[in-house]
Copies of this chain bind each other. A is one copy, B any other.
Amino acid sequence: MNAQDILKKYQLSVTDSRLSVLQIFMQAGGALSHSDIESRLKGFHDRVTVYRTLQTFAEKGIIHQIPTIDNAVLYALCKEDCTDGHHHDNHVHFLCTECEITTCLDEVVVPVVKLPRGFRQNDVKMIVTGVCKSCK
């Protein structure tokens, strides 16, 4: 599915900036931060537009967010079945300390965890740090 199809699928107007951001994600191997995207756009679009685009994509379920410990949330494309408020990205994320690239390990499902009595569980995120296959 190409960029334009994705936008239409999620009922978004097809615009230049949205297409560009989508294409950047599709080319990138791993997850990207706001500033990663900004720099790859090489000034073609405004910073504010990028903020709004990422927010829209996340809300629609086109991209999902990956928490980090360095004040720079990462974003990555979702697989098919994410929709409006409902993401299903229960895979593990891997941050390589060598190449600094964060990847979605789509095939690695986040293991279940048993919480103490009284806790109700909604969503789980798991971030593994280490050395990736390429950098080994």
Q: Which residues of A contact B (CB under 8 A)?
A: 65-73, 92, 94, 97, 105, 107-108, 110-133, 136
Contact = CB atoms under 8 A, between A and B. Distances in A.
Contact of A128 (B73, B113, B128, B129): B113
A46 B35 CA distance: 28
Contact of A71 (B73, B107, B125): B73
- Copies of this protein in the assembly total 2
Given A66-B69, A67-B67, A112-B111, A119 B94 contact: yes
Contacts of A73: 69-71
In the A-B complex, the 4 residue pairs with the closest CB atoms: A118-B133, A67-B67, A122-B130, A111-B111
Contacts of A107: 116
Given A111-B112, A130-B122, A71 B72 contact: yes
A133 B71 CA distance: 28
A66 to B, nearest CB: 7
Contacts of A67: 67-69, 125, 127
7 contacts: A67-B125, A111-B111, A116-B133, A118-B133, A120-B131, A122-B130, A124-B126
A98 B118 CA distance: 14
Given A68-B67, A73-B70, A129 B119 contact: no
